[in-house]
């Protein structure tokens, strides 16, 4: 599953699959002493949970097959249009989170992050909030047609 974004005249399927995780780990992970920490998936998950626009851009960019990807400018223009409506952008964040939530490839990153948050008394509440947002993301993505959600239909539903 995933969702479809209509950028320009083309529809692009966004999926949290092996290719996406590979690109995320190679491009978003932190580097320490020249070594890739392979924490990109966890960082992306944490960022989308916090409604980071950069995370939304990254999910769309890396979730589209690398041979078919629109340019970063095209993705940003698409999101500029969605930003005109608070409801649309909230739905986009929820779809992106739902895409990660349903993916087995992000399961380990999600599990580790939640365990870390639950392990600290100061962040237990945040862990619960993340679980609720994740459930809402799954609900949002399941409301739309499968296997992909066409974001053009957001306004009509």
Q: For the segment 56-77, what is each residue's pLDDT rounded down to a tens digit?
A: 999 999 999 999 999 999 999 9
Task: With respect to residue 156, please indicate whether it lies within any of the assigned structural domains.
Answer: no
Question: How many domains does the chain fold into?
Answer: 1
Task: With respect to residue 122, please indicate whether it lies within any of the assigned structural domains.
Answer: yes
Q: Which of 119, 144, 127, 134 is nearest to 13 (CA)?
A: 144
Task: With respect to residue 43, please indicate whether it lies within any of the assigned structural domains.
Answer: yes
Is the pLDDT at 99 greater than 60, yes or no? yes
Give bridge partners of residue 5 from the DSSP assignment.
Answer: 12
Task: With respect to residue 125, please indicate whether it lies within any of the assigned structural domains.
Answer: yes
String of DSSP letters for 44-70: HHHHHHTT-HHHHHHHHHHHS-TTTPP
Q: What is the pLDDT of residue 157?
A: 44
Q: What is the residue range of 92's domain?
A: 3-145
pTM tops 0.95: no
**C-alpha to C-alpha distance for 122 and 118, rounded to whole angstroms:** 9
Task: With respect to residue 87, please indicate whether it lies within any of the assigned structural domains.
Answer: yes
Task: With respect to residue 150, please indicate whether it lies within any of the assigned structural domains.
Answer: no
**C-alpha to C-alpha distance for 141 and 101, rounded to whole angstroms:** 10
């Amino acid at each position: 599953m995933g969702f479809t974004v209509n950028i320009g005249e083309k529809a692009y399927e966004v999926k949290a699959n092996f290719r996406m995780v590979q690109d995320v780990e190679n491009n978003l992970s932190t580097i320490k002493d020249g070594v890739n920490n392979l924490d990109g998936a966890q960082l992306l998950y944490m960022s989308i949970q916090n409604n980071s626009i950069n995370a939304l851009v990254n999910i769309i960019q890396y979730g589209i097959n690398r041979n078919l990807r629109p340019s970063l400018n095209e993705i940003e223009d698409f999101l500029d249009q969605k930003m005109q409506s608070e409801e649309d952008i909230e739905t986009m964040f929820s779809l992106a989170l739902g895409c990660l939530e349903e993916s087995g490839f992000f399961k380990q990153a999600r599990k580790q992050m939640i365990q870390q948050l639950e392990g600290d008394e100061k962040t237990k509440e945040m862990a619960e909030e993340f679980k609720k947002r994740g459930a809402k993301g799954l609900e949002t993505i399941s409301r739309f047609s499968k296997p992909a959600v066409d974001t053009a239909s957001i306004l009509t539903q």
